[in-house]
Amino acid sequence: MRTATLMVTNGEADVGVIETAIDTIKQMIIDGELRPGQKLPVEKNLAEQLGVARNTLREAVRALVAMRVLQTRQGDGTYVTSLSPDLLLDGMSFVADIHLDAGAGEFLHVRRILEAEATALAATRIPDADLVHLGDLLDEAETVAACDPVDHEKLVALDQDFHALIASHCGNAVLAAVTHNMSGRTVRARVWRGMSDPEAVHRTLREHRAVYRALLARDSERARLHAALHVLGVEESLTGSGAFAGEAARG
Amino acid sequence: MRTATLMVTNGEADVGVIETAIDTIKQMIIDGELRPGQKLPVEKNLAEQLGVARNTLREAVRALVAMRVLQTRQGDGTYVTSLSPDLLLDGMSFVADIHLDAGAGEFLHVRRILEAEATALAATRIPDADLVHLGDLLDEAETVAACDPVDHEKLVALDQDFHALIASHCGNAVLAAVTHNMSGRTVRARVWRGMSDPEAVHRTLREHRAVYRALLARDSERARLHAALHVLGVEESLTGSGAFAGEAARG
DNA sequence: AACTCCAATTGATCCGATGAATATGAATGG
DNA sequence: CCATTCATATTCATCGGATCAATTGGAGTT
């Protein structure tokens, strides 16, 4: 009956009833008692089963909802989500966002490694139809960049779509999710907003097109290099080494 | 006064009061209004400031506590954590754990890429003192492995320490944290528990020592290769290709 | 100055009540 | 017989208050 108490003795130190309830539900998922899509007992019953008050259970459930493990629908019930990696790992983008001052470079370094691998893998896996779609994204981005009042928001969205579409075809959902989330919305927005120089925007778009051509050629190594170089360019533009040294090296 | 309502109009769709409260607090952190280590207003005041009930605020705070953004101390108050990447990213290990059936290979693939990079970087950065410590870990692991009733729990802990110590000196906290969390406790435990064959244990320890020797030689490329090969061995032992093909290829 | 002890502060947990959204099944019209 | 409409029950969302427990900080003592 008092499952919660049993879990405490089994697990680590008792740091609180709610933490215990969270870990208990987590463990039920890991153990397979709760499967993706499955409906949980109603709050009243589940609270009684775990030996906690309904409000306490709600805080535990809310924590799991925040980390995309559970999903609640008012009037219906609480369900286990698909637990797919891209769903559970999308909280990482928030981590990247709050470190855009100090640690943005570290996130970008990781993204460079992963994006290079994901792009290389995608070179031999992305369907022709999605390559066409990729080309459309590039064309649209260049159109937007040509306008005088450049819509940076639109460019950010197209940039994100471009990389996400490639990564989604690397054959590894975890790699795609981690890569995608290694730079959050705020980071991407800052990068593009920092491109006051029109030349910087065009250079970035040229890098995108270089990756695109490598994918068209189904050349993994070319794709890997261009992807890495592209992210490296972003890194250097953030650390400031791109404004002088980077630009000089390119020129 | 009604900050929460203002945030809704500013942000995305209103999916609930609690979600709004969570996003508001998140944004306050991203914007720098709340800094690491800072104390939040008391529950009563903060709830009033956000225009929600105290119970509602608690659920929001609880969600942020679960993702290691906030920390509460009874009788004292609620504080913003250090927000360090290793703290905020340690929830990923849970994601890895619940996918140990289907997607363990995908996590290991990512870990292989990152661990190779982290080990290569550490080769030129890890202090001599920690290299000594690393050697001690290896010696201890071999001692444990030599005992008849092999303590697999101890081996798991030593394995985790070995890799964590290396990654911690790669000069990139994000890379270290992501690498570390790419295989959770449950995954590691399963891997080591699956080594019923004593030869498999010794092979793994030999791989560890090969990485160690490369670090001693301060040879980044050797370290990278041995690290990648080591994780690859784990991948193959999980997918089953190690039992036959892997063993044959090695012999 | 150092220690002890008490009261205020603050979060932790619980309880009950009301509102809002959904699902379910009966009733209705075709 | 089938589709639609609608009333009702179920369930989560939100709220306000009450009590317990842990920490803090100052008063008082040595």
Last residue in a domain, options B55, B80, B105:
B80
C strand bases under 7 Å from protein CB: 8-16, 19-23
Task: Check which CATH number belongs to the domain holding A66 and give it.
Answer: 1.10.10.10
Same domain for B101 and B34, yes or no, is no
B155 and B89 within one domain: yes
B118, B229: one domain: yes
What is the pTM for the complete model shown?
0.86
Overall domain count for chain A: 2
For B170-209, what is each residue's pLDDT tens digit? Answer: 999 999 999 999 988 888 888 888 777 788 889 999 999 9
User: Which domain-ending residue is among B45, B80, B115?
Assistant: B80
pLDDT of residue A100: 78
Which of B26, B27, B113 to substitute to test the interface with A, most A CBs within 10 Å? B113
Q: Which of A22, A26, A62 sits opposite B59 (nearest CB)?
A: A62
Query: Helix, strand or coil for residue A208?
Result: helix
Both A19 and A74 in one domain: the answer is yes
A176 CA to centre of own chain: 8
Rounded CA-CA distance A130/A136 in Å is 10
Do B127 and B229 share a structural domain?
yes
Dist. CA A5–CA A52, nearest whole Å: 10
Neighbours of B185 (CB within 10 A): 14
How does pLDDT run across B119-167, given as a tens digit for each residue? 999 999 999 999 999 999 999 999 998 888 888 889 999 999 999 999 9
Structural domain of B144: 85-241
Please tell me the least confidently modeled range out of A156-165, A215-224, B64-73, B196-205: B196-205
One domain, residues B141 and B223: yes
Query: For residue A78, what pLDDT is reported?
Result: 94
Residue with tokens 């890098």: A207
CA distance B173 to chain A (A): 7
B89 touches chain A (CB under 8 A): yes
Q: Picking from A70-79, A84-93, A97-106, A230-239, which range would have the lowest pLDDT averaged per residue?
A: A97-106
Q: Are A126 and A152 within one domain?
A: yes
Quick: pLDDT tens for A240-251. 654 444 343 343
A77 and chain B in contact, CB less than 8 A: no
- Among A45, A64, A80, the domain-final residue is A80
CB atoms within 10 A of CB B251: 5
The neighbouring-strand residues paired with A73 are A77
The pLDDT assigned to A91 comes to: 82
Please give the share of chain A, as a percent, with pLDDT higher than 90: 53
- Residue-level pLDDT at B243: 43
Do B58 and B92 belong together in one domain? no
For every residue of A187-247, DSSP letters joined together read HHHHHHHT--SHHHHHHHHHHHHHHHHHHHTT-HHHHHHHHHHHHHHHHHHHHSTIIIIIH
